[in-house]
Amino acid sequence: METLQQPVGVVTGGGGAIGKRICAALAREGFGVVVVDLSSEAVRGVAEGLSGEGHAGIAASVTDSAAVKALASEICAHYGRCDLLVNCAGTTRFVPHNDLDSLDDNLIDLILATNVRGPVAMVRALRPLLDKSTQPGGAVVVNITSIAASTAMGSNIMYCASKAALENITKSLARALAPRIRVVSVAPGLADTDFIKSMDQRWRDEQLERTPLKRLAAPDDIAAAIIAIVKHLKYTTGTVIAVDGGRPLS
């Protein structure tokens, strides 16, 4: 599994609909991909299905700092460095914004632990390996956020707040980790995952109508933005790249 010549990318939430497509895109670009998610079976399946060589699936929760530290040690032992970290792991639950009683403390804590503390824990644990990157333009951290960070419209109030916090963290980390590590947010609009496809068709049609490009964000659109950041936007750090079809314009 040791891959000294190829770049190494770590993707949290790699077993999800968006994470899988990010992993696949990185593999096509020649990365050795470390797929990270909660399920050993899920990460192993994704890793085994990727093109090329040098991939691994490691089960770990980003909310468990001890597990994250162990993950970093395992990556160090097998690869010796990290060129790209994609913080894609996240969680939410639909709660109407005016229903504050249903936004209970347990849900708030889970969202903040996963969507905010988790990415920071990953960067903290992998920073020594990111510092070792020899990739042109330096190592890159990509935080998957959401247009909910700026529109304050999303699955619930705390989800919106968590993504806004992560975009702020992106800017702080970009300043703190420069020049060796770049940090960028990718903010999708509503992504056309199986979960969204299972929802009421009338609601989905309304979202399409409100989006200038008349389609939802595909997971491959998000993956393509990450490839562009790594390969082409080498003078970009501390900013948010929207992949939203112009949705905030409507």
Helix, strand or coil, per DSSP, at residue 37: strand
Catalytic annotation present for 159:
yes
Residue 38: left if φ>0, alpha if ψ -120 to 50, beta else—which one? alpha
Pairwise CA distance, residues 163 & 212, whole Å = 23
Of the candidates 159, 167, 181, 187, the residue annotated as catalytic is 159
CA atoms within 13 A on the CB side of 228: 12
Distance CA(90)–CA(109), nearest Å, equals: 13
End-to-end CA distance of the chain: 48
User: How much of the chain is helix, strand and coil, in % rounded to 5?
Assistant: 45, 15, 35
Are 87 and 122 in contact, with CB atoms under 8 Å apart?
Answer: yes
Catalytic residue set? 159
